Homo-oligomer: A and B are copies of this chain.
Amino acid sequence: MFYFTVDILGTIAFAISGVLVAMEKKLDFFGVLIIAFVTAIGGGTLRDLLIGNTPVVWMRDSVYMITIIITVILAILFVKQLKYLRKSLFLFDTIGIGLYTLVGIEKGLDAGLSPLMCIALGTITASFGGVIRDILCNEIPVIFRKEIYATACIIGGASYFILNQLPIAPNYAFVIAILIVIALRIIAVKFNIRLPNIYRS
């Protein structure tokens, strides 16, 4: 139940982030719906494909698709309010990233992968939806250019494995790791921390 709630919250957060990007590109209703859908399920779909977990999760359980459709309709109806919430694009995206990173790690553990691969799988789950969203909108994916994004997923993911070595209930470790991902990204953007420039000139 706990796990399921996290998954649905992440789906809603990413779907809204997809709607906001798609509406800037002036796509029609189905364009917006598809971008929202792909942003929300893209990372989890690639994760399921990579570990051979098919049919992929959203095809076995209609709750994801129904959640996304309702989210998109509500987001479009209240678009005026959403437009005043520029910062929410960032916030929803960030919450989604935190949630999905840990969901991906959980699935990697279920598939018997090593911690290193679980962290990679969590990072893919968290970031690939946004990558597809940007590719479909014909832009260089934002995570390659700006902000400490993958770094937050990787540090948060690693902290989950460290926390599990301590005498902490697994659910707490799970939530703390999610908050670490979210906090890292917010701090990085707030204080404009970027990865060191690797270009000499």
Q: Are A113 and B28 in contact (CB under 8 A)?
A: no
Are B140 and A195 in contact (CB-based, < 8 A)? Answer: no
A 1-53 contacts with B by CB, 8 A: 22-23, 25-32, 34-35, 45, 49-52
For residue A51, which residues in chain B have a CB less than 8 angstroms away from its CB? Answer: 54-55, 59
- Interchain Cβ contacts under 8 Å between A and B, 29 examples: A22-B144, A23-B199, A25-B140, A27-B144, A28-B146, A28-B194, A28-B197, A29-B196, A29-B198, A30-B151, A30-B195, A50-B55, A51-B54, A52-B52, A52-B55, A55-B111, A59-B121, A62-B116, A65-B120, A76-B198, A79-B199, A79-B200, A80-B200, A135-B136, A136-B140, A136-B144, A137-B140, A138-B138, A138-B139
Contacting pair B23 A150 (CB below 8 A):
no
State which residues 40-89 of A face B: CB under 8 Å.
45, 49-52, 54-56, 59, 62, 65, 76, 79-80
B62 close to A28 (CB less than 8 A): no
A192 close to chain B: CB less than 8 A: no
A181 contact set on B, CB distance < 8 A: none
Q: How far is the CB of A50 from chain B (nearest CB, A)?
A: 5
**CB neighbours of A174 from chain B (8 A):** none
Nearest B-chain residue to A54, judged by Cβ = B52
Q: How far is the CB of A85 from chain B (nearest CB, A)?
A: 15
> Is A114's CB within 8 Å of the partner chain B?
yes
In the complex, residue of chain B having the shortest beta-carbon distance to the beta carbon of A50: B56
Task: Give A127-171 as 1s and 0s: 1 = Cβ < 8 Å from B's Cβ atoms.
Answer: 000010001111111011110011100000000000000000000
